[in-house]
Structure formats: structure tokens, C-alpha cells
Amino acid sequence: MAAHDMIAKPAARTLEPLMSVEDLAVSFDNGSGPRIQAVAGVSMSVYPRQTLAVVGESGCGKSVTAMSSMQLIPRPPGCFDAGRIMFGGRNLLELPEHEMLKVRGGQIAMIFQEPMTSLNPVYTIGDQIMEAVLLHQAVSPDEAAGIAIKAMADVGIRDPEGRMRAYPHQFSGGMRQRVMIAMALACRPSLLLADEPTTALDVTIQKQILELLRGLQQSSDMGMMLITHNLGVVAENADVVCCMYAGRVVEYAPVTELFDRPLHPYTRGLFRCIPGLSELRNRLVTVEEVVADPREYEGLRSEAGPVVPWWPFMDQSQRPALDDPSRPYALVEVSPDRWVGCWRTPEVARHPSRPPRIAPA
């Protein structure tokens, strides 16, 4: 699979990211037990016209990171323990609710994973799309209706004028997903958070939606955080890949480099789980089989010297001596524009890495 080549913009553009997540930590109350650390020191960034793919198994913190940037984490039970999410020169985690209302849907939009729970069953589809348009754009109701109809047509909904009067229960699961995408794109946001945006769609509509998103990026400098389990979608559409596990970033790299040479054992495990068309196997390799092999953790170097990839279940005898046992993890730039989650050894602590930022070429 060839990775998607980003089309260069002829005019000069800013080198500052649209959004920068810096050491974000999010936890949830667990009743009488210890708090659950859903995100533990995540850093990533998205630039204009760039697609950042966030991959990893369910429960690794992908959606919590995206929802934190919209302040959609319920508090309580959730809590922002540490870190910042910078957007437009402001920390989104510190904005009051009336300021966040201006950001949500207008400057940052999100496509949610479950369209049926995200759409209000007692309002028509047209009313729900128009509500976002009227809130964020200075247009009349008639103009808002026209924008909503065009947005529905863009995502492949037939007879958009007639379907404006329909209710969510009158749409199939895939059609509701398209409505969510239309709602997110109606206000032409500068940043789109897409949480499994094409899961409920067949492959032809999936291709159409992804092409639509790429077209918007080229015409409006929109950045996109794409959360997905589909590595084929990542290869074709992403510019940068952030691989997460257990609330931490284990690898961060340009898409072509990560696919050609994954450095963290967990990333290699994800790739080895994919069945190949040119080879016969009696059974698929599992991630656990890859990360349990001590040889997978050898030979990685950085400016600090030899480093050992971080893995929470590594045997105690194999773990290196740490600078601070209470902070065992560090995101290390092992080579230009390539970061790997490693154990925080004294050498790593003496050579702190810059935050993960890969600006478009």
C-alpha cells in the first residue's frame, strides 16, 4: 500500500501547528478504587493541511485525547491532571464554557464514533445541521438551509432537500454516519477530529468521504486528526502517525517511515497481525507474541545513546535502571522526526527530546 502523498501548497504557510497537545494526562474516578489513568503524558501536534492518524487498540486513550481538546470529558468523573492543548495561542483546557461554545463546531469539529447516540432523535436532520451553521456563521435561516443541503449532498446523501425533514431513526447506520460528517464539515472548521469516521460505511462511500476530506484540506488548509484501526486507511490518507498504547505514545513518525521501518515492538506487532495476500499462514501472529520477545527491544539508539522501548509488562529483569522510578516513561526523538516511547534512563533524562512536531514539507 502506498502512503498518501500530500500535495504541496504553492504559497508559503505557517510552521506553527494548528493544535499542539503537550504532556496531557486525563484520569477518571473509579469509585472507591484508585483513579483510572486513561491518558498519561500524551504529546502530539497537527498542522494545516496535515492528517495525523492516531492508531492503537481500543482503550488506549485515542478518543479521550480527542474529546479532551473539545472539553467533552465529563468532570466529574473525569479530570485533566496535567498538560496543555494549545489552539490559536490559547490553552483549550482553561477556556470557560462560553468560549468553548465558539470553538466547538466552528473552529474545531468532531465526527463521533456512534452517530445514533450523537444525533437528537426528536429533531430533524436539517434542524440539527442548521443549528451548528446558525451558531457559528452570520447567515440567515434560508442561507443556513442551503449550506446544510450542500453539506448533505457532499457526503453522498441523495435528495438532500427532502431528507432535511427526516428524523435520525429514518436513516440507516451508514447514512447517520454521513449526516455526522456533513454536520462536522458544514462550518468549514480549521481542525477536524475524526473518530472512526468511515467505520459504518461501505468501501465505495468510504473512499468518497476520504476524498472529500482531502479536498477540503487542500482548499481550506484544514488539519485533521484521524482516529482509526484501519492501517490501510492510514497508509493511503495520513501524513504522520501516532501509535498509542495504555494512554501513552509509543511511536510517532511520518507515515512512510513508520510503515517502512517501525521501531517500537508494539508497532511491529500491529503490522504483523495483518494477513498478507502473498503468504499462507496457519494462524495470525498476535501483538503479545511480538512484544514478549526480548530481542525486539534491542539495538535502538538515540542522541542519548542506547535506549530501551517502554513496555509496561516488560519483565523486571529486562528493564534498564531508571532516572526516576515514579516517572518510568519518556518520549524520545531517536532520529530526526522519529519519536519512540522509551524507559527514562539517566542518559535519556540528561538529553530531553523536543515535543513531537513534524511540519509539512
Judge if pTM exceeds 0.85: yes
- What is the pLDDT, as a whole number, of residue 322? 93
Nearest to 150 by CA among 172, 133, 135: 133
CA angle 42, 20, 208 (to 5 degrees): 95
Q: Which three cell numbers stand for residue 361?
A: 514539507
The count of C-alpha atoms lying within 13 angstroms of the C-alpha of 359, restricted to the half-sphere facing its C-beta, is: 7
Q: What is the pLDDT of residue 130?
A: 93
Give the pLDDT score at 142.
93
Q: Vertex 296, ends 290 and 297: CA angle to 5°? A: 130
The whole-number pLDDT of residue 19 equals: 96
What pLDDT is attached to residue 115? 66
Provide the pLDDT for residue 6. 31
DSSP state of 295: G
C-alpha angle 207/212/214, rounded to 5°?
A: 95
The 3-class secondary structure across 303-341, one letter per residue, is CCEECCECCCCCCHHHCCCCCCCCCCEEEEEEECCEEEE
pLDDT along the chain (361 residues), means of 10: 35 72 94 89 94 92 93 91 94 93 88 78 93 88 93 88 93 84 87 84 80 82 91 92 96 96 94 79 81 91 92 90 92 95 94 92 78
Spatial distance between the Cα atoms of 297 and 126, rounded to a whole number of angstroms: 53
Q: pLDDT value at position 116?
A: 66
| pLDDT score for 200 | 67
